Amino acid sequence: MKLIKFLPLALLFMVASCSSVKVATDYDTKADFSQYKTFAFYKKGVDKVDISDLDKRRILRAIESELLAQGMTKSENPDVIVNIFAKSSKKINIYNDYNYFWRPWYYGPNFGTHISQYNEGTLFIDLIDNQKKELVWQGIGRGALTMNNVEKKEARIKEFVGEIMAKYPPFEK
């Protein structure tokens, strides 16, 4: 009976773990992040990213939204230049399943190998000091991609960017 009570909770954790974004950041410890008030996107760098133009625009809108929410403003003469890089790879999970279950003609162990395949994406967001022309902060997010429909893809991109940008600026959180 206790198992039945905790089953929905276990399923929630399984779904949540599948949708999580693993984030890592790196930054220049000597940079004064409080001086960065304005930003712009590095068009030449963004144009080189090998993803669809639709996904590029989704990513850029999400980054812009996050930076604006942090009090920064978009500018023609920015303090930091934002560049992105994205890549994806196919991942395969193989696991063995051993359980007991009942069928009308049989009760006993069930052995099976299950294989699942998914796409994993990695998004790099670079912030470059415009005056020094040096990378000052980099956020990297990695997780499963959603390709089924536009709304889910849009939400997943916002989740990726939101998780990454939650780590910027590095000292204030």
- Mean pLDDT across the stretch 104-132? 79
With a cut of 60, say whether residue 16 has pLDDT above it.
no
**3-class DSSP state of 38:** strand
Residue 3 pLDDT exceeds 70 = no
Q: What integer is the mean pLDDT of 150-158?
A: 92
Cα 54 to Cα 40, 51, 96: the distances in Å are 19, 8, 39
User: Domains along the chain?
Assistant: 22-92+118-165 (3.30.160.670)
> In angstroms, rounded to a whole number, what is the distance separating the alpha carbons of residues 103 and 15?
28
What proportion of the chain, given as a percentage, has pLDDT over 90?
60
Band the pLDDT of 92: cuts 50, 70, 90. confident
- In 75-105, which ranges are E strands? 80-103
Alpha helices in 20-117 (DSSP H): 43-48, 53-69
pLDDT at 84: 97
Q: Give the strand order in the sheet containing 106-129.
A: 22-27, 134-144, 106-129, 80-103, 38-41, 73-74
Higher pLDDT, 100 or 11: 100
> Vertex 142, ends 50 and 81: CA angle to 5°?
60
Is residue 146 within 8 Å of residue 152, measured between CB atoms?
A: yes
C-alpha span between 31 and 25 (Å, rounded): 14
At residue 166, φ and ψ (nearest 5 deg) are -65, -20
pLDDT-derived band at 54 (thresholds 50, 70, 90) equals: very high
This prediction's pTM? 0.76
Model confidence at 43: pLDDT above 90: yes
Task: Assess whether pLDDT exceeds 70 at residue 138.
Answer: yes
Long-range contacts of the stretch 92-98 (C-beta < 8 A, 24+): 92/116, 92/117, 93/117, 93/118
